[in-house]
Structures are given as structure tokens and as C-alpha cells.
Amino acid sequence: MAAAYQRCLEDHYSYLDGNGARYIRPPGERPTQRQFSRILKTKFDLETTIRKRKGDKTFEQNHRARLGSVDQDCLGIGHIYEIDATIADVFLVSSRDRSRIIGKPTLYLIYDRRSRLVVGFYVGLEAPSWLAAMQAILSIAENKEALCHRFGVDYDPADWPADGVFPQAFLGDRGEMAAKNSSLLVAGLETTVINAVALRPDQKGTVECGFKLIQRSMADSVPGYEPPENVSKRRGKAYFKDACLTLDEFASLILANIIAHNRKVMPSFPASAEMLSRGMLPIPRDIWAHEVATRMGLLSRFSEEQVRFNLLPQDQATVSRDGIYFRGCYYTCPEAIEQKWFVKAGQGKFRVDISYDRRLVDNIFIHVKGDPSRHYNGSLLDKSRDYAGLSFDEVEVYERLRAKMRSQAEGVARQVQSDFHAHSDPIVEAAKAEAKAVSKGKSRTARKADIVDDRLEERRFRRQQEADMSRSSVKPDSPRAQVIAMPTKSSEPNPEAVQQPPTTLAEKLRRKHQEMLNERKQ
């Protein structure tokens, strides 16, 4: 307001002298700051002032009148699931070496808006993204008994009344839930994706408060827990020094806290008159069990395999005689062999739609044409077994190295072929010249007329040469090895040895070829 008052005086209560300098009028000829403040408060109400100062989104989040509730938009249990992610407040250590700190994990939670029941979660090292959100959504249909057994938590079916139940709508941020892959939820799981307005966490307040409720319950007992206010505090305490939990141990604690939350009484829950008259306690799992029979009726339920198939990203693979090729890997399946896909691909390659998990290349889902609800399970062929257990990103790196190796191999092959030509060309040229000289006056047919006799004569000559023991360089009484004396500095080369004629066939042909070239020049 002080800055606005100053600008008002400069614009409306000032004058210019003869030199063009601006002067503000003296008191009595201009309003005081108190008068200016009174006029502003009269002309502009508080809402307008806050909106101009802090923006519309901040006003709607922190200063608006709260006359309603998000429950007004919710028809009942199973209508809207709220999903969101945060970075957990606990430092973790490596499962292979507890002396190594790996930082804070990502925590996803999925809440049913009406009952406040936690229906799904994810704890891992993936950054907040569709890949991590997909795991949280998949946990809705995951086998809860196997899940509890894996993390050492007691299993009670009553703690998971929403097992496998999917909502009419998912409400999430404008991040992973606004990505292209989120449309897979709409197409395959018969649900709707709703994106909250940017900078409006109050539109999904259930899951936002859930992070605090779940994590603060562990603050006094979990080593490595860092309060959120310590993150931005100057010279804050180094809580990471106390870290000792692994990722699986922390996930076990989160799972136990989720079960405890689903059993707790919520004192501030807006219980209806019917619930009060029945004497029902506002416990998440009890609210769900009550309203699923009295209000919502039949809900959509999917198996874990159906959910996984519909959440995975989709692409196309190429079918050839070598197998089903996708991003450097070859796959097969019994149905493809039975339907003779690979034989048909010999007449021309064709494409098939697939779903895949980019974290592991071991298997892919092959869509059945004309039936989107069915799929075949493709597995790696033996030729691609070296990639088993890797991700598609890792395979891409190896394929790039393979392409680089092929490029280098081509250069080596070119050089080797060049060296071979350097050796063979003189031999071939000399042989052609000699054959031309001795065949002068003969036709090509005449040269072949006595081929049988000539072959027998050449074979007899070769036998005599190869079987002549007197020409062997190794004598029966000769020692197995000979010691060759090294020349000294005073020794001089033997001129007779230097001037000896070449003995190999290649050297003889090269010398003869050179002599013929010299004769042609003369």
C-alpha cells in the first residue's frame, strides 16, 4: 500500500518546474497516507485485495469460504479414489550393505474418498511417475494374503473389503495421471480419470492428509525419520545418520500402518444420522462394509492379471521366421506355433499388438486380434536368453554396442579383404599371362578336350611330389630342435644369402610378373 500511495502522488499530485524536474506537492495539496488507505479499503473488498496480491489459486486454497465439502461430489464408497505420491520422510539403507544410505523412497497411496479406506499403495525407488502409479493401482487387485505374507504382516480378509474393486473415477494430479498412459485406465478398466486443478491439493484432501497420518504415526519409533520442517531448516539435524531400515522393512511398516488406519476410529468423520442411530463407529473398513450393501450396489471388480494387462504400455512387435521381434528381443508362444505364425511370416512379415513392462524383458503380452479381453503370454527364445532379467532400457544399450561392433567388424573385414587382394592380384595376373602365352592358338573347347587324361597326369605328378621322402626337410637322425646363433655387432651379412633367389611360389610369380611388365614397357 505504501508503494501504491507513492505512485499515486507521483502520477496525480506532482508538477514539473521550468527545467522539467518533477516535484510532489506539499502537504495540504495532496491526500495523506491514512486518507489513501481509507479510500482503498472502501473501494476494494478483502477478497479482491487478497486475489490481487497472492493470486486466485492461493486464495481458493487458503482464504476462500469453506461452506461445502468434497464429499458432496461423492455418491458413496467406490465412486472416487484419490491417488497421489510423495517422498517419504524416512532415510533408508541398501539391502546388500546397511552402511550405505540410499535416500528416501517414493510413497504412493490410494484412498476411497467416502470411507477413507486405503485401497492401494506403493513403496519403492521409482520417481513419481506413471510407472510407480501403475504399481500402486495394480496393488488394488493384488493378492492381499500373499502381500501380507511377503512382508511378514498378519492377514485378515476384513482389512481389505475393497480387494480388486475399481472405482468409477480416479482423481490425481496433473502429472502421471495426465500422461498419455493414463488413458489405459479408461479403455481397459471402465473407469474415468479426473485431474485436479494445478496448485489445488485441497481438491484431494483425503490422500494429502493421509500421508501425514500414515507417516507421523512412525515418527517416534522409526530411525532415520526426518520431520518435514527440518528439510528447509538452516543447520537442521542430520537425521540420515540414524538410517538403518531397508526398503522391504520400511514397506512392511507402511503396510502395517495402512491396516491399522483401516481399523481406527475417525472422531472427526462426518457421520450421518443413520450411522449415529445405529451406533456405528466411523471405522474405514466398517463404513465400506455397511455402504457396499446399502448404497452403492454392484461395483466393478477385476483380477490382478486383467489389471496388469490393461495398465502396461502398448506397442507393436514384428513376426518373422526367427520369432516375434520387439526392441532387440525374440519371443514365442504356444499359440503362435499352433497357428503357424512363423511359417506364414516366411511369405511376408506382419505386426501384432503387444503390451510390455519396460522393467523386465522376460515376457510380453500378445493381444488377440478381434478380442481385446484376451492375450497370449510370450516368452524369450533361447537366442535372446542373454537378456533375461534385464530391462528394455538395458537391452537398448547392449543393442547399441552390438551395432557399434558390427560397424567395426565391417571395417576390419574390408581391410582383411584388401590384404587378400594385395596378395592374390599378382598371382592371378601372372597366371593369366602365362596361360594366355601357352594357350595361344588354342580354343577354349580344345583346352578341355583331354581333361580326364590331364587330370590323371597332374594327380600322378602331385603324388610323386607329396610322397617323395627324400625331399622331406626333417632327417631321421636330425635333432628335434636346432640352436641358431645370434649375430654379433662385428659380424657382417653374408652377401650370398642376401642374393639367393626367392624360393616360394608367390615370390616366383611376382618376379615373373614384374619381368613381363618390364618387357612390355621395352
Give me the pLDDT at residue 167, please. 93
Contact present, 261 and 118 (Cβ < 8 Å): yes
Residues 328 and 247 in one domain: no
Residue 414 lies in a domain: no
- Distance (Å, whole) CA 196 – CA 177: 10
Query: What range defines the domain where residue 366 resides?
Result: 312-397
Three-state secondary structure call for residue 150:
helix
Give me the pLDDT at residue 481, please. 55
Residue 6 lies in a domain: yes
Residue 341 lies in a domain: yes
Residues 289 and 350 in one domain: no
Residue 196 lies in a domain: yes
Residues 376 and 230 in one domain: no
Residues 40 and 170 in one domain: no
Partners of 122 in the beta sheet?
Answer: 108
Residue 382 lies in a domain: yes
Residues 190 and 257 in one domain: yes
Residues 152 and 229 in one domain: yes
Residues 161 and 178 in one domain: yes
Give me the pLDDT at residue 497, please. 46
Residue 28 lies in a domain: yes
The separation between CA 421 and the C-alpha centre of its own chain, rounded to angstroms, equals 48
Residues 24 and 43 in one domain: yes
DSSP string, 73-98: G--STTSEEEEEEEE-SB-EE-SS-T
Domain boundary among 16, 39, 62: 62
Residues 50 and 136 in one domain: no
- Distance (Å, whole) CA 180 – CA 183: 6
Residue 110 lies in a domain: yes
Supply φ then ψ for residue 274, to 5 degrees.
-65, -40
Domain boundary among 279, 306, 333: 306
Give me the pLDDT at residue 486, please. 62
pTM of the model: 0.73
Picking from 144, 143, 134, the residue whose alpha carbon sits closest to that of residue 189 is 134
CATH code assigned at 199: 3.30.420.10
Give me the pLDDT at residue 73, please. 86
Residues 96 and 187 in one domain: yes
Domain boundary among 258, 290, 306: 306
Domains of the chain: total? 3
Cell of 442: 588354342
Residue 408: enclosing H or E segment and its boundaries? helix 392-438
Residue ranges of alpha helices (H) inside 264-331 are: 273-278, 284-291, 304-311
How many residues belong to the chain? 522
Residue 148 lies in a domain: yes
Give me the pLDDT at residue 226, please. 93
Residues 31 and 122 in one domain: no
Query: CA angle, 28 as apex, 27 and 34 as ends, to 5°?
Result: 75
Contact present, 355 and 348 (Cβ < 8 Å): no
Picking from 273, 255, 289, the residue whose alpha carbon sits closest to that of residue 112 is 289
- Distance (Å, whole) CA 326 – CA 355: 11
Residues 51 and 91 in one domain: no
**Consecutive sets of 10 residues in the chain, 522 residues long: mean pLDDT of each?**
93 91 93 93 91 91 87 89 95 94 96 95 93 93 94 95 93 87 83 89 91 89 91 87 95 95 93 88 93 77 88 92 96 95 95 92 93 89 94 93 92 93 93 88 82 88 81 58 58 49 60 69 62
Cell of 370: 478381434
